[in-house]
Chains A and B, each alone.
Chain A
Amino acid sequence: MKDSVICVENLYRDYETTKGWLNKKKVIVKALAGISFEVKKGEIFGLLGPNGAGKTTTIKILSTLLAPTSGESRVLGYKTFGEENMIRQHINFIFGGELGVYRRLSGRDNLVYFSNLYKIRKNIRDKRIDELLELVGLSEKGDLKVETYSKGMIQRLQIARGLINDPEIIYLDEPTIGLDPIGARELRDIIKELSLRRKTILLTTHYMHEADELCDRIAIINKGKIVALDTPVNLKKQNRITSVLEINVLGIYDKELEEIKKIEGVETVAVKKNDQWQLILIQFKNTHNITQNVLNVLKNNTVISVNERGALLEDAYVRLVGGSI
């Protein structure tokens, strides 16, 4: 594709680690097992997948922090390993959490330093830092040391840091983790705003509604492989004939889940654990009526509530990667 700014083709990445202490054994973890995708300029592209699926690994390779084991990964037409000097000026990344800033310095000092490393001229720098502090709502706290910040404030500073070089491509790895609902909302607005300014965004998240709201296209990856790649609308469409039965119960055994799986029309069964009860999510073909059969299986359990609804993005996800959420 001509207007693709990110091209990944048949990308593999293995990690070599050792197991044991005295009797060290080499272990190879296959984090990526041949993924391919392209991201167009100005697109918001989502990577979804369970823990350990290879999302961060993909982002690290694309941000030139990690070498691929094999396969191609190109950003702005340049190889991410070998031609990284042509790329680094134009990209930046924001990893969720409290890492990536100097805690003993003020927020502003952090940003000044990082802009120096990006070789940004002083007259642009000072203006941009003020704007960024304003954008992430840290204008008043900018001169305080980062160690006095709350988790969410550090996360906001990270966001400002990630935008310091006005990057063309921004990688966001679980960027809203640790933000309060309003902070998360604001960050999503920032992301949309950046996209309007034709910035390309590649993001990972575990929040389906976030992916649904933001992403133009989503790749779902599982065990280092892409299992689906489409727009949120199409991903949900694949599930059109599927409905979801949500049942809250107090206690559920694997044996009962197995029985539910055997009911005709049932496609997947997943369990989400809450504090005191479990939410059973059953996807089924809506040509069947399974409710009574399921309740028969659960006749010895305390059923709190039963609810039938249409499929969401989350259900498409569960279907593709299976198991628990």
Chain B
Amino acid sequence: MITVLETIYSTAKLQMKEAVTRPTFRFCLLIQPIIYSLITYKMFINSGHDNFVAYTVLGTGILTLWSCICFSSAGDIERERYMGTLQVIYNTPTNFKVIILGKILGNTMLGLLPFFISFAFVRLFLGGDMYIKDPMAFGISMIITIASFMGISMLFAAVFTLSRSSRILMNCIEYPVFILCGILFPIEILPKWTIPLSYILSPTWAVKLLRLSVEGLEGNDIFCKYFGILTTITIIYFILSNILFKIIDNKTRIKATLGVV
């Protein structure tokens, strides 16, 4: 029997095989982290932090992971629509949601590469030391961050399946999140009205959690609070995307958005 997990795995594998042959994706994975590293390094070096390398690597990693995720939801669906494969995979007995999850997993795994590239780049060419005070907390934060990014990605993928203007939507969401979620500077300096928006976007909490575990926990309270919030938001994302996929399963066949012809 081919189980759901096997399908997810084979989809993720195919996704990675396919993605690395695409020039834009390679740029995203290999060149972009270096550019972001340079920028964030310059920003954080004068921040007075002795652990600015960690901030640089973390910032770069999250920025590029986010870019990969944007690609994974919007770009892939758009591309598959034009390749004519969207209707083929949609029409198999495998649940479309499962296929999308596999694709997102593939992109996410590739999307983790920039963390290492950024780290290597900073160490080799820029210099400076980094530490992670609480590796255990960092590990946990990383896992929930990834899960959460995948949840948000599922949500976008659902919307993009229905819409033929995926690419425009994708470009609209890629950059604002860098600012809204406090990846580069604290959200507290943003105008008041954007704060609620920041709070419902999981990267905001992911960044807080990761920084906290890099700096070391004073007590468990605040870590647990952020962790709780992030987990809740992530679960809500998955529930919402589940509902959306159900609606979309019907809508897309009524509106005829699966193929180009």
Q: Which residues in A have some Cβ–Cβ distance to B below 8 Å?
A: 15-16, 56, 60, 63-67, 81, 85, 88-89, 93, 95, 97, 99-105, 109, 112-114, 116-121, 161
**B interface secondary structure, majority:** helix
A102 and B85 contacting across the interface, CB-CB below 8 Å: yes
B93 and A102 contacting across the interface, CB-CB below 8 Å: no
B residues within 8 A CB of A161?
88
B250 and A119 contacting across the interface, CB-CB below 8 Å: no
A102 and B14 contacting across the interface, CB-CB below 8 Å: yes
| Cα distance A216–B143 in the bound complex, in angstroms | 59
Q: Which residues in B have some Cβ–Cβ distance to A below 8 Å?
A: 1-2, 6-7, 10-11, 14, 17-18, 21-22, 83-85, 87-94, 99, 250, 253-256, 258-259, 261
Q: Name the contact of B17 in the complex, choosing from A81, A101, A103, A109 (C-beta under 8 A).
A: A109
A67 and B253 contacting across the interface, CB-CB below 8 Å: yes
Asked, given contacts A56-B261, A120-B2, whether A67 binds B10 with beta carbons under 8 Å apart, the answer is: no
Q: Name the contact of B90 in the complex, choosing from A56, A65, A105 (C-beta under 8 A).
A: A65
Q: Which residue of A lies closest to B19 (CB)?
A: A104
B residues within 8 A CB of A97?
84
A residues within 8 A CB of B261?
56
B residues within 8 A CB of A105?
14, 17-18
Asked, given contacts A114-B92, A161-B88, whether A65 binds B258 with beta carbons under 8 Å apart, the answer is: yes
A119 and B84 contacting across the interface, CB-CB below 8 Å: no
A67 and B18 contacting across the interface, CB-CB below 8 Å: no
| Cα distance A103–B85 in the bound complex, in angstroms | 10
B259 and A117 contacting across the interface, CB-CB below 8 Å: no
B residues within 8 A CB of A100?
83-85, 87-88
Name the distance in Å between B72's Cβ and chain A's nearest Cβ: 16
Asked, given contacts A95-B84, A100-B83, whether A117 binds B253 with beta carbons under 8 Å apart, the answer is: no
| Cα distance A105–B22 in the bound complex, in angstroms | 12
| Cα distance A101–B22 in the bound complex, in angstroms | 16
| Cα distance A81–B251 in the bound complex, in angstroms | 11
